[in-house]
Amino acid sequence: ILPRFPFCSLYSSHLFSQNDGCRSLSLSGHVGVDSLPDQLVNKSIKQGFCFNILCIGETGIGKSTLIDSLFNTSFDDPVSTHFQPNVRLRAQTYELQESNVRLKLTIVSTVGFGDQIKKEESYQPIVDYIDAQFEAYLQEELKIKRSLHSYHDTRIHVCLYFISPTGHSLKSLDLLTMKSLDSKVNIIPIIGKADSVSKTELQKFKVKLMSELVSNGVQIYQFPTDDETVSEINAIMNGHLPFAVVGSTEEVKVENKMVKARQYPWGIVQVEDENHCDFVKLREMLICTNMEDLREQTHARHYELYRRCRLEEMGFRDTGPENKPVSLQEAYEAKRHEFYIEMQRKEEEMRQVFVQRVKEKEAILKEAEQEIQAKFEHLKRLHQEERLKLEKNRRVLEDEMAMFIKKKAAAELLQTQALVSTPVNFKKDKDRKK
Partner 1 sequence: MSKQQPAQFTNPETPGYVGFANLPNQVHRKSVKKGFEFTLMVVGESGLGKSTLINSLFLTDLYPERIIPGAAEKIERTVQIEASTVEIEERGVKLRLTVVDTPGYSDAINCRDCFKTIISYIDEQFERYLHDESGLNRRHIIDNRVHCCFYFISPFGHGLKPLDVEFMKAIHNKVNIVPVIAKADTLSLKERERLKKRILDEIEEHGIKIYHLPDAESDEDEDFKEQTRLLKTSIPFCVVGSNQLIEAKGKKVRGRLYPWGVVEVENPEHNDFLKLRTMLITHMQDLQEVTQDLHYENFRSERLKRGGRKIEDEEANKDQILLEKEAELRRMQEMIARMQAQMQMQMHSGEGDSSAVQGHHV
Encoded one letter per residue, x for contact with partner 1 by CB under 8 A and - for no contact, window 110-139 reads: -----xxxxxx-------------------
Question: Nearer Cβ to partner 1, position 64 or 106?
Answer: 64
Write the DSSP symbol of residue 195: G
* Candidate residues 266, 319, 421, 434; the one interacting with partner 1 per rule CB under 8 A: 266
Whole-number minimum distance, CB 265 to partner 1, in Å? 5
Instruction: Choose the stretch contacting partner 1; rule: CB under 8 A; options: 261-269, 291-299, 300-308, 364-372.
Output: 261-269
Whole-number minimum distance, CB 266 to partner 1, in Å? 4
Q: CB of 189 within 8 A of CB of 242?
A: yes
Q: What are phi and psi of 247, to 5 degrees?
A: -115, 155
Number of residues that bind partner 1 (CB under 8 A): 49
Q: CB of 320 within 8 A of CB of 329?
A: no
Q: How far is it, in rounded angstroms, from Cα 23 to Cα 55?
A: 50
Instruction: Find the binding residues for partner 1 in span 154-193 (CB under 8 A).
Output: 164-176, 192-193
61 binds partner 1 (CB under 8 A): yes
Strands 49-56 and 101-111: parallel
Whole-number minimum distance, CB 119 to partner 1, in Å? 5
Q: CB of 54 within 8 A of CB of 294?
A: no
Q: CB of 57 within 8 A of CB of 123?
A: no
Question: Nearer Cβ to partner 1, position 135 or 273?
Answer: 273
Whole-number minimum distance, CB 354 to partner 1, in Å? 51
Instruction: Find the binding residues for partner 1 in span 71-100 (CB under 8 A).
Output: 79-83
Encoded one letter per residue, x for contact with partner 1 by CB under 8 A and - for no contact, window 4-43 reads: ----------------------------------------
265 binds partner 1 (CB under 8 A): yes
Question: Nearer Cβ to partner 1, position 166 or 370?
Answer: 166
Instruction: Find the binding residues for partner 1 in span 323-362 (CB under 8 A).
Output: none
Instruction: Find the binding residues for partner 1 in span 202-231 (CB under 8 A).
Output: 212, 215-216
Q: Which of 130, 275, 118 is nearest to 194 (CA)?
A: 275
Q: In the Cβ-directed half-sphere of 300, how many Cα atoms lie within 13 Å?
A: 16
Q: How far is it, in rounded angstroms, from Cα 269 to Cα 258?
A: 13
How wide is the angle at C-alpha 27 spanned by C-alphas 24 and 28, nearest 5°? 145
Residues in the chain, overall count: 434
Question: Nearer Cβ to partner 1, position 82 or 428?
Answer: 82
Strands 251-254 and 243-244: unpaired
Whole-number minimum distance, CB 255 to partner 1, in Å? 13
Q: CB of 255 within 8 A of CB of 244?
A: no
Strands 101-111 and 88-98: antiparallel
Give the SS3 label for residue 232: helix
Q: Which of 332, 308, 346 is nearest to 184 (CA)?
A: 308
260 binds partner 1 (CB under 8 A): no
Whole-number minimum distance, CB 117 to partner 1, in Å? 5
List interacting residues with partner 1 (CB under 8 A).
58-61, 79-83, 115-120, 164-176, 192-193, 195-196, 198-199, 212, 215-216, 262-270, 273, 275-276
